[in-house]
Structure 1
């Protein structure tokens, strides 16, 4: 039996009457999807139904972590370095009154970086609360240090092994689509190794509902996958503390990926208790690299931006950041350039 994700133009319940085993369905409001198991001979019948938009394998999805590209020695990019390179002041624009979601591996709410922060944990993996991998804690730590007034939602899509599949991603998107009034920004520091029409279509519909998204561009050079390749995704490349593009950062000019760049090399990150991701530093901190960590920096900037311009829709925010970005000469992999918060928030 083949595992498939089917994206449909209406509720996917009609698939239960077809030659397949419907494991679970997902409701996105104006459309739907389903995780099915079926024989190869029946796939064409399902795909030919007018209500079916896409049918694709249930592929594996991973965090955009790059363990091979962590420098030896004591060099580390701190949050102060992020503020300096990207012109992010420590001012009254704290994200207060806003909520930022991270689709990730969960959170260790007891890390000192989250002291005083309102945190909600939502699990769609069946693993429960917490963070067995450490990735989500690191990501949310970047967000809260730039937008300390914002409430956080840890939407857990990675379980104990640090990998997941498209059907779990669909559960998370169902939660996002069904709770658009409960949050303002969503960070996605993960991706598949190839473009998924189902993920991209669902992502574009979410942005169309007014949700401001920030997505990691990927760590695979000229090849990357969903959701960074979605037409409406605001995707973030990784650069070094010095402002040069990281060697692993993805670049897909035909998919408008990336849009801007932020520090994603040798970051000093919050460490979840009991996890060993990255290289350990003094205290509950680690050093790690990846577009996983450049994205939440921009998510924090977007929350700050919304404190100043609260009614701005997703596309105008992305355009302001692109227009204000500082271009790296002769470097197409930076997108529009290095993110510059102060210039973006002050854009006419």
Structure 2
């Protein structure tokens, strides 16, 4: 019986060359990722493993908007009422930066966008649906994330870190129920890269319990369902790793792409301090900029959010984040989903900064600036940098 599989190929490995040129041609060729979703039997999977053009093979796994707390909308906190800048934008120093993100192309892979929202007035939004549910954003998650990255002021409040971004790629990889598949996510990544995105941000994760339920609903016993789900997760990690290596290889022939992903919200430090969960896929993949969430303390300093998964590379505001609401106006959400767009916005500012300096703006240089300039003196006593990475992301000053 054939199952569905994602097949990731590196087409640069199939280039024709004379016998004595083959090694040089392979070394000089940029990665050319190509993905297809096909039905395969066990023997066919084994045959593909021997194909030099095949970089990875993995079963599609269910994806979703990360779990609570960010599912619930809330009115902007009273502390923000009448303010002209959200606390997240101010914490990054983006309101004091001379850069706006102008000239940077940002891709958001999420639940879509409310393109009619005033936060996106005057922008060129290129939308692509990878879910089959059509355009728009009925969940509100993608609209909120987009507002944090590049939203224009709404009702007199600045919500976007990089409000000068003029062109954005909106890949709808999570449907109107907030759910999707790793197949759609990978296709969205390739689409964004193919459309010259400087920055890609993803606030989503693999829904492992849903993967097990789907297998059990097919009549598989729990032990076998668990085993297949674990193998699928491992194969998916290898798929993301292979794709990110191809993206890195392409950077040698261009400027490259910074890929940002939320670490997830599975930790429960409110139950016990050591209830910390590691980063989820895709944020755990090689080359991803994994982002954790921080919150404000009454002292004015910051601490890790109770839900934020550990071992990020950077952290950013992720509690009571005010941004665009589907249908108009503003709403407050919390989660590492809200932290990742802050880092994507900061990356857009750094792309503009390095281009203005004439120092050869490249993805590696942008990533370096994000890590090197991260603030470390803003956290409360006893801060654990395994939860915070290099520190709080900062805008160029």
* 2:202–2:262 Cα contact (<8 Å) kept: yes
Q: Does 1:5 align with 2:21?
A: no
Deviations 1:98-120 (A, max 9, x none): 22111111110121222233322
Give the corresponding residue for 2:346: 301
Q: Distance in 1 between matches of 2:322 and 2:286?
A: 31
Q: Distance in 1 between matches of 2:112 and 2:31?
A: 26
Partner SS for 2:11: coil
Match of 2:361 among 304, 312, 315: 312
Q: Distance in 2 between matches of 1:47 and 1:95?
A: 42
Query: How many pairs are equivalent?
Result: 313
TM-score (ref. length: structure 2) = 0.71
Give the corresponding residue for 1:135: 141
Deviations 1:206-255 (A, max 9, x none): 24431122221222232333221122111211111342111111124xxx
Match of 1:83 among 89, 95, 115: 89
* 2:33–2:246 Cα contact (<8 Å) kept: no
- Give RMSD over aligned pairs: 2.8
Q: Distance in 1 between matches of 2:100 and 2:57?
A: 42
Cα 1:102–1:134 shift into 2, 3 Å: same
Match of 1:115 among 100, 118, 121: 121
TM-score (ref. length: structure 1) = 0.80
Q: Does 1:149 align with 2:164?
A: yes
Cα 1:113–1:69 shift into 2, 3 Å: closer
- After the TM superposition, list the runs of 4 or more consecutive aligned residues in structure 1 that deviate by more than 6 angstroms: 68-74
Give the corresponding residue for 1:232: 287
Give the corresponding residue for 1:16: none
- Which runs of 5 or more residues in structure 1 are unaligned? 14-27, 253-257, 274-282
Q: Does 1:188 align with 2:202?
A: yes
> Which stretch shows the higher mean deviation, 221-230 or 74-83?
74-83
Partner SS for 1:244: strand
Superposed displacement of residue 60, structure 1:
1.0
Deviations 1:49-88 (A, max 9, x none): 4443322221111223533797999747855211332222
Cα 1:230–1:81 shift into 2, 3 Å: same
Give the corresponding residue for 1:168: 184
Q: Does 1:100 align with 2:106?
A: yes
Give the corresponding residue for 2:308: 249
Superposed displacement of residue 139, structure 1:
0.5
* 2:74–2:331 Cα contact (<8 Å) kept: no
Partner SS for 2:147: helix
Cα 1:76–1:143 shift into 2, 3 Å: farther
Q: Distance in 1 between matches of 2:107 and 2:281?
A: 18
Match of 1:287 among 324, 328, 332: 332
Q: Distance in 1 between matches of 2:248 and 2:31?
A: 14
Superposed displacement of residue 313, structure 1:
1.8
Q: Distance in 2 between matches of 1:103 and 1:215?
A: 10
Greater Cα radius of gyration, structure 1 or 2: 2
* 1:11–1:32 Cα contact (<8 Å) kept: no
Give the corresponding residue for 1:276: none
Q: Distance in 1 between matches of 2:139 and 2:65?
A: 10
* 1:63–1:189 Cα contact (<8 Å) kept: yes
